[in-house]
Amino acid sequence: MNNVQGKVVVVTGAGSGFGKLTSEKLARLGAKVVLADVNPATVQAVTDGITAAGGAAACVVTDVAVQEQVERMAAFAVSTFGRIDILINNAGIMPLSLFASKRTDAWDRCIDINLKGPVYGIAAVIDRMTAQGEGHVVNVSSLYAAHTHAGVGIYSATKAGLKMISDALRAETRGVIKVSTIYPSGAATNLGSTVLDFTVLGDFWGKHTPEFMGALANNPDSAAAPDMTDLKALVLSAEAIADAIVYCVNQPKGITISDILIRASNEAMIY
């Protein structure tokens, strides 16, 4: 099944992680991909890799927290490939920290990227998709849209808000624009690099430390490469999340996958 061939897909946060993998997978299926990311070097490198492999891709440096840049991103996609069929709102950060730390600048940035960024993206494409008579918006939320812990409040709030935005957009556009929301659990990506206070992870990761350490010790791969990506079924791989996104957008006309909650099957070992 290939329902994305020839479609124009805009992916934010496309310079790394599952944004990168999603872009590459869609390009291999014949989509024309516009990669947007705040990091010029990484997004250019991913784009060059896609085009070198024979795919159709172009990139635009975009800070999704700035509405003018998101509007420019959409205009670039139209000027380059003629239209926008799919928008994947993937860019995000996770500045975990306790309220007592008063990291308000970081929390503002989290709200601007995780919540306002997708709103700006929707605003930039809704008229175009409505005029086309079809379109698809995919919002990458999180398992923590429904569950939170100490230090995760702001991140959870942005992801819960994204669910409400998805549901409201689906109700408003009444099938003209498909809307899908992806809810991954913990994943082996560079999102962790945006965490401000790693001690807050102990509230939920630390509950099963003995089981976790036992799984690590018994994993034959861990001795050679003790990396989170080697811990089978404990955390999601970036590729698993990218595959879920591709599955959503690769549905035929008239079929919408509205929500996917994806989690590692043995995640209870660590949180």
Closest to 95 in 3D by CA, of 195, 8, 187, 162: 195
d(CA 115, CA 266) in angstroms, rounded, equals: 30
Query: What is the distance between the alpha carbons of residues 88 and 85, in angstroms, rounded to a whole number?
Result: 10
Whether 247 sits among the annotated catalytic residues: the reply is no
Which two tokens mark 5? 């061939």
The amino acid at 268: A
Catalytic residue, from 120, 144, 155, 183: name it.
Answer: 155
- One-letter amino acid at 81 equals F
Residue 216, SS3? helix
Other CB atoms within a 10 A radius of the CB of residue 109 amount to: 16
Residue 161: CB atoms within 10 Å: 18
Which of 54, 62, 78, 68 has its CA nearest to residue 19? 62
Q: Which residue has the tokens 């784009």?
A: 47
Of the candidates 248, 238, 257, the one whose C-alpha atom is nearest the C-alpha of residue 24 is 238
Catalytically active residues are 155
